[in-house]
Amino acid sequence: MRIALAADHGGFRLKEEVISFLRENGISFHDFGTYSEEAVDYPDFALLVAEAVRSGEYQLGILCCGTGIGVAIAANKVPGIRAALCHDTFSARASREHNDANILTMGQRVIGPGLAREIVRVWLASEFAGGRHARRVAKIAEIEKKYGGCTDR
């Protein structure tokens, strides 16, 4: 399994904690940045990870920002991406089992490093349950097809 990983300045320290966890557990990853707490724009980094996951080069992605909300919104604009904001282990497990989430997002200003490590552990250990959930994920894909590329508001 290969993980694509990125953060903006507001999630930089949390991303570094996730990197430590991945290294400690021998999990392959690529850090797409940012590499400091200097201000950057979160959509740029969310897009790098979303495109890497969509291409299949990476099976899963993890994104961090201040709240986890901005990177989730940006990543979910890419067809085929199901980014889930998780600040607890129940949501982390359910996002994989029920929604086949392929990107985990978390907020540095919301959770601490210990909880983040546990969320990542649970998220990576969980698998899509299929069954009735597959039908629902397929409906999400149909919505993407129907509205893909549409920017009208």
Catalytic residue list:
65, 98
Annotated ligand binding at 102? The verdict is no
Annotated ligand binding at 89? The verdict is no
Going by C-alpha positions, the residue among 38, 43, 56 that lies closest to residue 6 is 43
Annotated ligand binding at 99? The verdict is yes
> Which residues are within 8 A (CB) of 9 and not within 5 positions of it... i.e. 6 or more apart?
34, 36, 37, 38, 39, 40
Annotated ligand binding at 140? The verdict is no
H or E element: which one contains 2? Answer: strand 2-7
Annotated ligand binding at 25? The verdict is no
> Which residues are within 8 A (CB) of 146 and not within 5 positions of it... i.e. 6 or more apart?
none
Annotated ligand binding at 87? The verdict is no
Annotated ligand binding at 66? The verdict is yes
Going by C-alpha positions, the residue among 146, 1, 29, 127 that lies closest to residue 79 is 146
Residue ranges for the binding site for D-ribulose 5-phosphate?
Answer: 8-9, 66-70, 99, 109, 132, 136
Residue ranges for the binding site?
Answer: 8-9, 66-70, 99, 109, 132, 136
